[in-house]
Structure formats: C-alpha cells, structure tokens
Structure 1
Amino acid sequence: MNLMDSLKENNSVVLKQHASTWEEAIEACMKPLVEKNAVERSYVDAIIERTKELGPFYVLAPGLAMPHERPEMGVNKNSFSFVTLDQPVAFPDGQEVDILIGLAAVNADVHNGEAIPQIVMLFEDEDVFDKIRAAAVPEDIYKIISDAVAG
C-alpha cells in the first residue's frame, strides 16, 4: 500500500477543514474513504467508540493523529486519507490535533509493515509539520510526500 497512490486514487487529501470536536475531526478524516467505499460507515463509528473507551491511542506526535480501527470493523480496501484542520481540536486526553492521516488496512501486516513505516518516514523531519499546515492544495501534500520519500 503506497501512501501517495492511495491518496490520489481515493481523492482523499482534504485541507483546512473545520471541526469543532474530535468526533467531527474523525468524521472529516474518514469521509473521503467512506465516499470511495474504501471503508464502511461502521468503521468510522468504531473509531469513535474505541476512542471513547481507550482514548486516542493513535495520536502519534503533537498535532498528528492516525485514526484507524481493526480490519474487521469495516475495511474494504487498503487506503489512506490526509486531512488538515483550520484549527486544532482537543482529543479526550487533552492533546490537540490538526493533522489527521486516516488509515484503513485489510490486515495487521499491511498496518505494521507498510503503512506505519511510510508515516514515520514522512514525519522524520520536524519541518514537515509546518509545510503540511501551509499546504493549500492537494498537490502541495503530494510534493511534501514525494520530497520525504526522495530525501
């Protein structure tokens, strides 16, 4: 599963979205994947319910979350979404997030072996956060990803 290919295929880069709550942020993050039938609506509900139970275990760094759930909760195909918010929202543990990368993986091997390493590589450079927040169009995000992969 390739991050860039998935984002382009699913048309799932959405920038400067407004969300008033963390639930709205999850909805905004997963909306492109629901619209492309990459995940079922039940997948979004499962992420929200699990967050209420366990907290936002998927917050990876200050400002960055990668909401996801188990494959059997409604994943139809491996896919990513990439969403930025116009203002950060507080998650249940108080962490503020304004960059969300939605992940749908059909199994744990894809999740651990393919998805996570790409995200880690993208965010190795601290400057990438500022570049992502400044992005105005999906092409800006594609360039940031391309530069991270090349670098």
Structure 2
Amino acid sequence: MREILDEERFPPFRKLFFALEQARPEFAGTVTRLKLAELNHPEADVAGVLARELMRNAYQHTTGANLAELDGELPRTVRLEVGMVDVPGCAEARVRVAVFDQGDLFGFSPANVRRGLMLAQALGDRYGYGCDRVRRPDGKVVWVQF
C-alpha cells in the first residue's frame, strides 16, 4: 500500500465501465458484479464483493453514516468507478475498482479500516490508497486491481 503519486501507480482508465455516486453499497456491489459478468470477466463475483465493502467503508469512515438507519438520499461524498487499466509490466489490462471519498489521508491507516482492505489485500493483485489530486483534489481513493 502506498500513496498515489503518479500515473504509474494509479494509471488512468483505458475504459471506464461505469461510475456511481450516492449508491448504497449493496447496489454498487450488484451493479459491479453484473457488469463484469456481462463482459465474461472471471472475477465478477470478487469485484462485486470488493465494490460493496469499499463503498461501505468509505461511507462509514468519511460520513459516520450508519447505512442501516439512513433513509432516503445518501451523503454525496462517495463515488465508485470500475473500469480497465493498463499496468506497466503486465501483458493484459486489469480491472480496477476505485472508491473516491472526501476523507483525507491524515489519520488514515489500513489498521483502522478492517474488512474492506483485508478483502482487497486477499482478493486483489494490487491495492492501495492515496490522493488523486487531479481527479479528486478534496479527498482520497482506495482501490484494488485484479
């Protein structure tokens, strides 16, 4: 895990499949799984689980929202992006699930984020967190590739 500094570590999407804002984590996970299954990606189920968990973490840790008790609209602070990226040194493109939020890296530690990052570490080829100052100057991103 390392802070995002350049396009080598966090390359732009070659193809963005979709992006969601204000989506409940379960919905985000289902959309991710269905879209990748439609593309016959072998990791569609894994991607769905990771999207759901990273979204859940982002809402919980940046807004303090208890999603089980929240009715109506969600805070507009979390964005999921799923797409293909080219990774230097890899012959094939990778799928990346990235969750952007308005939290900052001050005080952010993988030790404070439990399930989502543990799953990313266990199920992904690469994962990380940091600041993407170009796309989201006011927050951070947590991502996983496979």
- Do the structures match in fold with TM over 0.5? no
Q: Scaled by the length of structure 2, what TM-score is found?
A: 0.34
TM-score, reference length from structure 1: 0.33
Structure showing the higher helix proportion among its residues: 1
